[in-house]
Structure 1
Amino acid sequence: MGLLGRLRDLLHRQDGPALSVDDPDLVVVVEAFDFAEADSAALARSPRWRADELAVLRHHVRIPAEQVERARELLSPDGWVLVAGDITLVSRVQKLDALHCAQERSRMASLAQRLGGDALGWDALQKAHEPAR
């Protein structure tokens, strides 16, 4: 793991309880599949998104099967996890805000295009919110 990955892990540990991309308690709290909609607007319209908690940012991309390993090589050093399929899911735990969503959406669009694919959009997952008692 590179220096940036270790630093990100350290920061995440300070932000609250651990979270992983395959946590079974995760639920989708926001979706952004309309490229005409700003990421800030997608976050603002979601009453379930909690800005103060970690989230899993998950990009949905179409990447040719022969390019999936190349994508993994490029993204893994920054903590991204790829699950290949008809639509490849590229996920990472992070604090979620409009700026970082926009930066990562642009990065995924660029990567997908470079590898002969398409970026379809993203969603974000957080642990299911337990209602107050």
Structure 2
Amino acid sequence: MSSSASSGPRDLNGRVVEQGRLARLRSRLRPRAESGPLTLGERVEVVARSEDDAIASSVALEASSWRADDEVILRHHVEVPPDRQADAAAVAALDGYESIADERWGPAPSPRAEGLVVLVLARVQLLDAMHLSQERSRMASLGSRHGGFAREWAVLQRPPG
């Protein structure tokens, strides 16, 4: 699913939500910078992140500057063998994740394990602690099934103001 292929606000599972008449009217009355749904190509900043598998999602989000009412880009770094990268990206795409091959959010991370590559996966969605935990688990499973592991996650949002 490409970010340009379907637009609109996202739900907690990253799916586009149809807007009613009132929501469309409100979006027209808001300032231009806030009016549209978030896309993977926008300028965003990291508001929460962790490499620690043991940290609870609720704890990580509570300690962050995450704004619960705003859409986020949920980004995962998954390390997999090079010959499994395309398959892992295809499986993640079934859940609306895109493989990011450029450096829009900074330099691409280097793999930590010999013989693996870093697959950067991202999607736009609303977020809460339960759904963050669900997605972290999904990425851990994806990495494991493809001979690798989930290394890090990050929540990105538009700068406030």
Query: What band does the TM-score fall into relative to the shorter chain?
Result: 0.7 to 0.9
Give the direction of change, closer, same or farther, for the CA distance of 1:44–1:58 in structure 2 (3 Å limit). Answer: same
The Cα shift of 1:77 comes to 2.4
| TM-superposition CA deviations, 1:69-121 (whole Å, max 9, x none) | 11122121221001256421110100111111101101100110110011012
Give the direction of change, closer, same or farther, for the CA distance of 1:107–1:49 in structure 2 (3 Å limit). Answer: same
Alignment of 1:48-127 (within 5 A): 48-84=65-101, 86-127=117-158
Root-mean-square deviation over aligned CA pairs: 2.5
Give the direction of change, closer, same or farther, for the CA distance of 1:11–1:52 in structure 2 (3 Å limit). Answer: farther
Runs of 4+ in structure 1 deviating by more than 4 angstroms, as ranges, are: 11-16
Which of 68-77 and 52-61 deviates more? Answer: 68-77
Give the direction of change, closer, same or farther, for the CA distance of 1:128–1:83 in structure 2 (3 Å limit). Answer: same
Structure 2: distance between partners of 1:12 and 1:109? 33
- What letter corresponds to residue 89 of structure 1 in structure 2? V
| Structure that is richer in helix per residue | 1
The Cα shift of 1:45 comes to 0.3
1:28 aligns to what SS in structure 2?
A: strand
1:10 aligns with 2:41: no
- Match 1:45 to one of 48, 58, 63: 63
TM (normalized to structure 2)? 0.69
Give percent identity, aligned residues only: 39
1:128 aligns with 2:159: yes
1:20 aligns with 2:39: yes
Is the contact between residue 89 and residue 119 of structure 2 (CA under 8 Å) also seen in structure 1?
Answer: no
Give the direction of change, closer, same or farther, for the CA distance of 1:40–1:20 in structure 2 (3 Å limit). Answer: same
Give the direction of change, closer, same or farther, for the CA distance of 1:12–1:88 in structure 2 (3 Å limit). Answer: farther
2:55 aligns to what SS in structure 1?
A: coil
TM (normalized to structure 1)? 0.83
Is the contact between residue 19 and residue 54 of structure 1 (CA under 8 Å) also seen in structure 2?
Answer: yes
| Structure that is richer in strand per residue | 1
- Match 1:34 to one of 52, 57, 61: 52
Structure whose alpha-carbon radius of gyration is higher: 2
Structure 2: distance between partners of 1:37 and 1:96? 17
